[in-house]
Amino acid sequence: MTGLAFLIPIALGMGLLGLAAFFWSMKDGQYDDMDGAAARILIEDEDEPA
């Protein structure tokens, strides 16, 4: 039973972490341009000599 004292906070903490990550990704605008994100992978980067 003492295991619960560790496991429940860990489970909740991981859930909260996921929720925080979701909020961050929304605020970061990662869902603003879903079609664009799919298309951008096809753009060829120009390899400019540094």
Partner 1 sequence: MNAPTVLSADDASTLTTTRFTVPGMKCAGCIGKIERELPKVSGIAAARANFSAKRVAIQHDPSLGEDALTAALLSLGFEAQPVAEADLLGPLAVEVEERKRLNRALGVAGFGMMNIMLLSVSVWSGADGATRELFHWLSALIALPVIAYAGRPFFASAWMALSHRRTNMDVPISIGVILATCLSLYETITGGSHAYFDSAVMLLFFLLAGRALDAEMRTRTRAGIGALLGRMGKSASVIAPDGTTRRIAAKDLEPGMLVLVAAGEAMAADGEVVEGISAIDNAMLTGESAPEPVAPGAVVHAGAINLSAPIRVTLTRVAEDTAIAEIARLMDEAGQSRSHYVRIADRASRLYAPVVHSLAALAFAGWMIAGAGWHQSLTIAIAVLIITCPCAMGLAVPAAQVVAAGALLRRGLLVKDGSALERLAECDVALLDKTGTLTLGAPRADVSALDSEARAVALGLAQASRHPLSRGLAAALLREGVTPATITGIAEVSGQGLTGTWQGLAVGLERPEDAGEALATLLRIGAAVQTIPFADPLRADAAATLTALGREGLSASILSGDRAAPVAAVADKLGLEAQAEASPQAKLAALEALKAQGRRPLMVGDGLNDGPALAAAHASIAPGTASDASQQAADAVFIGEGLMPVALAVRVARKTMRIVRENFAFSIAYNLLAVPLALTGLATPLVAAIAMSVSSLVVVANSLRLARAAQ
Residues that bind partner 1 (CB under 8 A): 1, 4, 8, 11-12, 15-16, 18-19, 22-23, 26, 31-36, 39-46
Closest by CA position to 12, among listed 2, 1, 24, 20: 20
Q: Which is nearer to partner 1, 46 or 49 (CB)?
A: 46
b vs e for 3-16, b when ≥16 Cβ sit within 10 Å of the residue's Cβ?
A: eeeeeeeeeeeeee
CB of 25 to partner 1, least distance (A): 10
CB of 20 to partner 1, least distance (A): 10
